[in-house]
Structure 1
């Protein structure tokens, strides 16, 4: 079972993610958080396989959230922006998805693709 935590300040998007995960037998959405500080604390505690992380949030953006983690899970950065952010080059992320791309089969494929990547740590 592949475990995931999602951090996004959009409650409708988190609700949509929960619906997608309910269709998967091999993936589990352990928790969702609108507050990035609370979400990062749970990532430290639960150590999910994958962190689904919004790029732009109030108080703490996705890059700042990642900077606060000593040990990072695989990261799928999610954003409503059309282009991949320039900052992504300074902090390792495993995949970048636009919110408008995400549907059930696409999300599952992206997660499995990231999990199959070899870590270089």
Structure 2
């Protein structure tokens, strides 16, 4: 029982550290690149909006029925990539922040699984 508590505490500490790391990186990148914060739900057109909805639906179906962690991480990476591509096509600077989020997510997953910090 004690091992389970240590694993959960270790994951929470890892997650909190990574959130703090991302917060600092995001704030400094937005200031340096002069990108104003916008709401997360803004899409550039209808194709972007429906594409994200369909991709998230695929992700949730995958989580419920297949539950493969690697497959789920790849789907999330594809969603971030699709989002960044659509923002880039619309000439928005927000795509740089989306790519930063993608890079941070990939780093979180790789470090977490490399050092066995994921639950």
Q: TM-score range by the shorter chain?
A: under 0.3
> TM-score if structure 1 supplies the norm length?
0.26
Greater C-alpha Rg: 2
> TM-score if structure 2 supplies the norm length?
0.26
Structure (1 or 2) with the greater strand fraction = 1
Structure (1 or 2) with the greater helix fraction = 2
